[in-house]
Amino acid sequence: MELLLSSAIGMLTAAGIYLILRRRSFAVVLGTTMLSYAINLFLFSTGRLVVDRPPILQEGATAYTDPLPQALVLTAIVISFGMTAVTVMMALGAFLEGGDDRVDMPRADREPDLARSREDFRA
Amino acid sequence: MSHVLIAPVILPAVIGALIILWMRADLLLQRVFSIAGTAALLAVAIYLNVLAASGQVQVYRLGDWAAPFGIVLMLDRLSALMVALTATLALAVQLYAFGSGWDRKGWHFHALWQFQLMGVCGAFLTGDAFNLFVFFEVLLIASYGLMIHGGGPMRLRAGVQYIAYNLAGSTLFLVALGVLYAVTGTLNMADMAARVAVMPVEDTALLRTGAVLLMLVFAIKASLVPLHFWLPSTYANAPGPVAALFAVMTKVGVYAILRFYTLVFPQDTVIESVVMDLLLPAALFTLAIGQIGIMGTRNLGRLAAYAAIGSVGTLMIAVSQFTPQGTTAAIYYIIHSTLAGAALFLIVDMIGARRGDLWLRLDTVMPGNALIGAMFFVTAIAVVGMPPFSGFIGKLLVLDATRTAPQVVWIWATVLVSSLIAIYGMVRAGSLVFWKPYGLQERPVPHEPAPLPSRGRRIPTKLEPDEHIQDLGDAASPALAAVAVGALLAGIVALTVFAGPVTQFARATADQLHNPALYLHAVLEGQEGTK
């Protein structure tokens, strides 16, 4: 089970890192989602891998699983869910206003003459 | 246990929510409530400073759960100072946003502003590592909204970059917290410090990994080279007042490094000097790249952004010493660089409103050239660290604090040479924008001057969303905007005049920070119901 979990975390992270390094915003959104899945699994494992045990101390229970990582994962899920939505909205906005979905800044962001000709073009 | 400790989090949260729910379409009400709320936050922050001045670490237990099981807020001199600095900056910049009309350019400016303040103040006050993550997310989400305020293709694209970079950073933060929790079994900073201190050396490999990962996260927030790539296009494309408020956001990263690496991982204990060995070279490169950027850029917004990177470099040189003297210099420089950096962004925005864009090129003389030029002059002197303003004193403190460091030659050489480069960059920008237009015989391009708001003409207080260019004709009150910048400059002058008392205060703050036992006692032992 350790092998299964750690290889799953590793593969999700690798896929996530590859995707967030892409130039198109859709791939980047997918990449951040992958990364957040990897993190959620990783946070689970920080409370040690325990199967079939209650998350709290109770009468007669001899073993328990750490409830805190589960609370952390819940928080992380909520936050990453909201963040994904925000990213999608921002990427859509950039696509609709800028005309393409590339993540890198165009040269017109750094060079005045390009900016001017672009403005002329748009006008 | 004083309930006022939670006020800097609750107050902006309530005001932000009220603005969204009740005054969505009424800009006048929004302005009144939001500015009153920030002023109230400032009053609370001043009271917190009075509380913290006793030298005791105050602890607020949320839900009255005993530490380390519940979340605690900690108030010490440093966090009180940072909250006060945030509130002061926010109030001045908010007046600017009102005066310049920026808050009309999109929806929910004031609500996002309050949520931003909530996140920043929470990050400064919390004593729990995971809670720090949550407040980082709060301030980031609000900052995404503020950053793209007003819209426009460039700004949105820069916003996507900013959000992607920070999502990766947040992921790293969670990894670091997971590692630290797996090793120490706690997320309370003081409890973590207690457990790290007694950990046998042979078990600390994973702990050191966690400590370095955490430093990377804070280095992203502080924009240390090589993790600074998000900053220039984000700050240069953000609306002026938002970029000015962001001047305190890099300081959140610096604050978190100061907090964690004095309390949880003090120098020369379990993690040895691994953090210092990484931080100092990064700080030197940050300073060099920031100052070279000032010289090399062709855009005023980027000039201010690179100045912000450079100031973080100077700051981190002082922090990386991890001595009381170095921390004293860092605290003084935090105050200075926040005020000066914000003032620079606002002045750049004033220039943009009068010239139509921010490119560094010859143009006609703009209205209000003399006043803005004078303010730019003062700010530039403060930013590059020339006498007589506080930048000089701050840089002197940093140089003095590193006098006995083994790498003193590298530090002094970088600081002094890069200052020269920054001076050149500022001089070039200032003369091109303010002086050379007078020598211009013909106008390079036909260009009608921006319509000045005539006296008596009322600018409607209604929202005009999705205008990404700010021009002077839309300004509700250019005079108020200038006064707000003047207030920041007055802060720089006051910081220079009262450098003695401020340095003494910074020294007391640094001594408190370098005595982790105080925090451990306050959080873990000093409360009823704890061990």
DSSP letter string over B168-183? Answer: HHHHHHHHHHHHHHHH
Helix intervals (H) in B402-477: 408-430
- A99–B160 C-beta distance less than 8 A: no
So what's the pLDDT on residue B107? Answer: 83
Please indicate whether residue B461 or residue B392 has the higher confidence score (pLDDT). B392
Among A112, A63, A46, CA closest to B179: A46
Give the pLDDT mean for B307-336.
94
Does the complex come out with an ipTM higher than 0.85?
Answer: yes
Q: Write the CB contacts of B24 (distance below 8 Å, at least 6 apart in sequence).
A: B107, B108
**B66 to B10, B30, B181, B527: CA distances (angstroms):** 21, 39, 19, 8
Give the pLDDT mean for B198-212.
87
| Three-state DSSP class for residue A65 | coil
| Three-state DSSP class for residue B299 | strand
Residue type, A91: A
Instruction: Say whether pLDDT at B228 is over 60.
Output: yes
**CB neighbour burial string for B86-110, b if at least 16 within 10 angstroms, e if fewer:** bbbbbbbbbbbbbbbbbbbbbebbb
Chain B residues in contact with A94 (beta carbon < 8 A): 153, 156-157, 159-160
- B137–A105 C-beta distance less than 8 A: no
Q: Write the CB contacts of B505 (distance below 8 Å, at least 6 apart in sequence).
A: B77, B81
- A39–B134 C-beta distance less than 8 A: no
Chain B residues in contact with A115 (beta carbon < 8 A): 357, 359
Q: For residue A107, what is the nearest residue in chain B, using CA coordinates?
A: B154
Chain A residues in contact with B174 (beta carbon < 8 A): 39, 42-43, 76
Give the pLDDT mean for B11-26.
92
- B233–A98 C-beta distance less than 8 A: no
Instruction: Say whether pLDDT at A78 is over 50.
Output: yes
- B359–A72 C-beta distance less than 8 A: no
Half-sphere exposure at residue B317, Cβ-oriented, CA atoms within 13 angstroms: 32
Contact B385, B395 (CB under 8 A): yes
Read off the tokens for B166: 């920070």
Quote the CA–CA distance of A111 and A90 in Å, as a whole number: 24
Instruction: Say whether pLDDT at B461 is over 80.
Output: no
Across chain B, mean pLDDT equals 89
- Pick the range with the lowest mean pLDDT from B25-29, B126-130, B183-187, B347-351: B25-29
Among A39, A91, A68, CA closest to B170: A39
Chain A residues in contact with B361 (beta carbon < 8 A): 112
Q: What is the pLDDT of residues B80-137, one digit of tens each?
A: 999 999 999 999 999 999 998 888 888 889 999 999 999 999 999 999 999 999 999 9
Quote the CA–CA distance of B225 and B312 in Å, as a whole number: 10
So what's the pLDDT on residue B528? Answer: 61
State how far residue B83 is from chain A, nearest Cα, in angstroms: 25
- Pick the range with the lowest mean pLDDT from A50-54, B90-94, B191-195, B503-507: A50-54
Max CA distance (Å), chain A:
77
State how far residue A50 is from chain B, nearest Cα, in angstroms: 14
Size of interface A-B (CB pairs under 8 A): 118
Report chain B residues touching chain A, CB-CB < 8 A. Answer: 130, 134, 137, 141, 144, 148, 151-154, 156-161, 163-164, 167-168, 170-171, 174-175, 177-179, 181-182, 187, 233, 236-237, 298-299, 302, 357, 359-361
Q: pTM, whole model, 2 decimals? A: 0.92
Instruction: Say whether pLDDT at A13 is over 50.
Output: yes
Please indicate whether residue B465 or residue B74 has the higher confidence score (pLDDT). B74
Contact B281, B157 (CB under 8 A): no
Contact B507, B484 (CB under 8 A): no
So what's the pLDDT on residue B121? Answer: 96
Give residue A121's pLDDT band: very low, low, confident or very high (50, 70, 90): very low
- B237–A111 C-beta distance less than 8 A: no
- A79–B168 C-beta distance less than 8 A: no
Q: For residue A81, what is the nearest residue in chain B, using CA coordinates?
A: B167
Angle separating helix axes B478-497 and B77-100, nearest 10 degrees: 150
**CB neighbour burial string for B398-415, b if at least 16 within 10 angstroms, e if fewer:** bbebbeebebeeebeebb
- A87–B160 C-beta distance less than 8 A: yes
Residue type, B214: L
Q: What is the pLDDT of residues B157-177, one digit of tens each?
A: 999 999 999 999 999 999 999
Strands (DSSP E) contained in B49-202 are: 58-61, 72-75
Q: What is the pLDDT of residues B54-73, one digit of tens each?
A: 888 999 999 888 888 889 99
Give the pLDDT mean for B217-223.
94
Q: What is the pLDDT of residues B382-400, one digit of tens each?
A: 999 988 899 999 999 999 9
- Pick the range with the lowest mean pLDDT from B171-175, B248-252, B289-293, B356-360: B356-360
Give residue B334's pLDDT band: very low, low, confident or very high (50, 70, 90): very high
So what's the pLDDT on residue A118? Answer: 46
Chain B residues in contact with A38 (beta carbon < 8 A): 171
Q: For residue B149, what is the nearest residue in chain A, using CA coordinates?
A: A90
- B141–A82 C-beta distance less than 8 A: yes
Give residue B357's pLDDT band: very low, low, confident or very high (50, 70, 90): confident
Report chain A residues touching chain B, CB-CB < 8 A. Answer: 16, 20, 25, 28, 32, 35-36, 38-39, 42-43, 45-48, 68-69, 72, 75-76, 79, 82-83, 86-87, 90-91, 93-94, 97-99, 102-106, 108-112, 115
So what's the pLDDT on residue B365? Answer: 85
So what's the pLDDT on residue A120? Answer: 40
Q: Write the CB contacts of B457 (distance below 8 Å, at least 6 apart in sequence).
A: none
Give residue B310's pLDDT band: very low, low, confident or very high (50, 70, 90): very high
So what's the pLDDT on residue B368? Answer: 85
- A20–B168 C-beta distance less than 8 A: yes
- A72–B181 C-beta distance less than 8 A: yes
Contact B66, B188 (CB under 8 A): no
Give residue B460's pLDDT band: very low, low, confident or very high (50, 70, 90): low
List the single best residue of B69, B136, B149, B163 to mutate versus A (max A Cβ within 10 A): B163
So what's the pLDDT on residue A22? Answer: 92
